[in-house]
Amino acid sequence: MEAVKLHHIFKSYDKGRVVAVNDVSFSVDEGELFGLIGPDGAGKTSVFRILTTLLLADQGTASVVGLDVIKDYKAIRNLVGYMPGKFSLYQDLTVLENLRFFATVFGTNIQQNYDLIKDIYEQIKPFNHRRAGKLSGGMKQKLALCCALIHKPKVLLLDEPTTGVDVVSRREFWDMLKALKQQGITILVSTPYMDEAILCDRIALIQQGKILSVDPPADIIKRYPTKLYAAKSADIYRLLKDYRQNEAIESSYAFGEYIHVTLRYPERDGLSTLQDLTTNLGHRDIIVKEIKPGIEDSFIRLMERIEFTGRVE
Amino acid sequence: MCRNLTKRFGGFVAVDGISFDVAKGEIFGFLGANGAGKTTAMRMLCGLSFPSSGEAEVAGYDVYKQQEKIKKHIGYMSQKFSLYENLSVSENIEFFGGVYGVNKKEINKRGQELIRALGLTQEANKMVGELPLGWKQKLAFSVAIFHQPKIVFLDEPTGGVDPVTRRQFWDMIYSAANAGITVFVTTHYMDEAEYCNRVSIMVDGKVVALDSPTNLKLAYNANSMDEVFYQLARGAKRNDN
């Protein structure tokens, strides 16, 4: 059975002037760790709010664990754990009070499903009596996750849990998600960080309210349609400008210490073409190599295709 | 420009004796885990908070005695404090240009150039709140350097922005640095750390590493800045904001 299903969902705001969700359909299998990947304003939060029954779609149907988001909204609210993008616990309740409060609201107590939160809760237990508003970003996030899990939900909906969080806390958080998945919980998680996408079973790339693709991360990378090269030289900013003006180059963008490049005529011997071209531009300390594309490369390519075909109004 | 700079809040040492120099026109990456002390350090350098001890000069001005001078000669932009959402694009430019003492004629002339360069001609009279985040951030950056400051402080300018816009944003940073503006930037995107001339990494209030991305990767035997950062920050004892 599908844990989450969206069928041609539309949602607009401001009397239809802003289309937030534009014909979105995808489904998440039971026990899957599914990523909704896209930048700010792509429509991720609207999707979450529709699934948590907090927002009505204009058109289309959606269900969570087989229950309809409109007809069965009350049942759904007991079966999902939701962590909104904005920290939404009670800032002037302590860690323990927050946890107790959410347990009570869901008609349970902390002991009942302690197994599920144990590993996460024990990291913040030393701060049991600290007010939630006084916790650090990483600890707030852990507490919010505990509160979302306290009633042993079937589906966990996490809206940008790692935005603005540093690399170390982000890794810890993803380790926690993997552990939860092993306990059979379905997880739908959104993120603007492309490197986190690779950790999901499947991902949907979303941009301007439209789904660009739904696939396992490895497949998205495999489908990258052309050869990708990385290049650098002593003056990387000039190199980027030079590449942009060169008609043999289809696309070029900075990527870490390198520039990622695709060629307009990829069937030729690309590597030596690029090597010669860079030398002829008068650059020094040139390194050019063929590389495997990552999720971010795929995303950029998909995004640019959208821009060529016109903005989604 | 910064020697043993320290800030204590009661018994808590938020910034613990940091020292570094940033050259004119340099892109300086200021990294650290959440709670490492970056924001506190930045606030001192922007003249918004007095250090507890140590010395620092920004754009040639002293952080104790010449806070107001500093404020005039720097630009600042963060993900959170952006522009006025219910002013239009041109009103924001006019307002911030005016606050920084750019004269009316210049504001008009440069403002129009700026709007054209950003491709916002059709949106010039739209409220900033209606623009997509990426555009807002590009506009906010342009406004932050509108008065041609010597140095611009960018606090996580690209958080949540899509990968294409993120790169356009960095193009703007490069071109500002090329024009001689020093860029002091924090980010959680480690690929962006690679775009900096030099990077410092703060852990628990101290600067534990400072070098070019290439040298840091060599020193820590890492393939990416992500790994360098992880190795250093993993040992952090505090992660308070």
The pLDDT of residue B59 is above 60: yes
What three-state secondary structure class fits A254? strand
Residue A304 lies in a domain: no
Written as six digits, the tokens of A158 are 């996490």
pLDDT in tens, B145-171: 999 999 999 998 988 788 888 888 998
A45 and A26 part of one domain: yes
Contacts of A29 (CB under 8 A, 6+ apart): A2, A3, A186
* ipTM of this complex: 0.75
Residue A183 lies in a domain: yes
Residue B102 lies in a domain: no
Contacts of A288 (CB under 8 A, 6+ apart): A229, A230, A231, A271, A274, A275, A278
Residue A174 lies in a domain: yes
Mean pLDDT, range A173-188, rounded to an integer: 93
- Give me the residue from A38, A164, A300 closest to B159, CB to CB: A164
Cα A78 from Cα A70, distance rounded (Å)? 14
Residue B169 lies in a domain: yes
Residue A300 lies in a domain: no
Residue B106 lies in a domain: no
CATH of the domain at A250: 3.30.70.920
The pLDDT of residue A312 is above 60: no
The pLDDT of residue A309 is above 50: no
DSSP lists the bridge partners of residue B61 as B58
Domain extent for B66? 2-84+149-233
Determine, for residues A166 and B233 on separate chains, whether the beta-carbon distance falls below 8 Å: yes
A273 and A163 part of one domain: no
Written as six digits, the tokens of B76 are 């600042």
- Give me the residue from B159, B195, B214 closest to A163, CB to CB: B159
Residue A309 lies in a domain: no
CATH of the domain at A48: 3.40.50.300
Chain A contact residues (CB < 8 Å to B): 38-42, 136-139, 160, 163-169, 171, 192-195, 207, 237, 240, 253-257, 296, 299-300, 303-304, 307
Mean pLDDT, range B185-213, rounded to an integer: 91
Determine, for residues A195 and B226 on separate chains, whether the beta-carbon distance falls below 8 Å: yes
pTM: 0.81
Choose one of A177, A193, A221: the last residue of a domain: A221
Domain extent for A58? 2-221
User: How many structural domains is chain A composed of?
Assistant: 2
Determine, for residues B161 and A253 on separate chains, whether the beta-carbon distance falls below 8 Å: no
Angstrom CA distances, B191 to A186, A295, B88, B163, B165, stand at 31, 14, 33, 11, 14
* Closest CA–CA distance from residue A41 to any residue of chain B (Å): 7
Residue B95 lies in a domain: no
Residue B199 lies in a domain: yes
Residue A78 lies in a domain: yes
A255 and A191 part of one domain: no
Measured over all CA atoms, what is the biggest interatomic distance in chain B, rounded to whole angstroms?
54
CATH of the domain at B79: 3.40.50.300
pLDDT in tens, A113-162: 899 999 899 989 999 999 999 887 788 889 999 999 999 999 999 999 98
- Chain A: residue whose CA lies nearest to B176: A237
User: How many structural domains is chain B composed of?
Assistant: 1
The pLDDT of residue A304 is above 80: no
Residue A299 lies in a domain: no
A105 and A144 part of one domain: yes
Alpha-helical segments (H) within B100-162: 104-117, 133-144
pLDDT in tens, A61-115: 999 999 999 999 999 999 999 999 888 899 999 999 999 999 999 999 999 989 9
Query: Which residues in chain B are contacts of A237 at CB distance < 8 A?
Result: 174, 178
Residue B116 lies in a domain: no
Residue B109 lies in a domain: no
Provide the pLDDT for residue B81: 62
With CA atoms as reference, report the closest residue to B197 among A167, A289, A235, A288.
A235
Choose one of A221, A255, A276: the last residue of a domain: A221
Contacts of A177 (CB under 8 A, 6+ apart): A33, A158, A187, A189, A199
pLDDT in tens, A3-56: 999 999 999 998 888 899 999 999 999 999 999 998 878 899 999 999 999 999
Contacts of A71 (CB under 8 A, 6+ apart): none
Residue B113 lies in a domain: no
A189 and A248 part of one domain: no
Please report which confidence band the pLDDT of residue B237 belongs to, taking 50, 70 and 90 as the band edges: low
Cα A193 from Cα A295, distance rounded (Å)? 10
Please report which confidence band the pLDDT of residue B240 belongs to, taking 50, 70 and 90 as the band edges: very low
A157 and A20 part of one domain: yes
Determine, for residues B214 and A257 on separate chains, whether the beta-carbon distance falls below 8 Å: yes
Provide the pLDDT for residue B238: 62
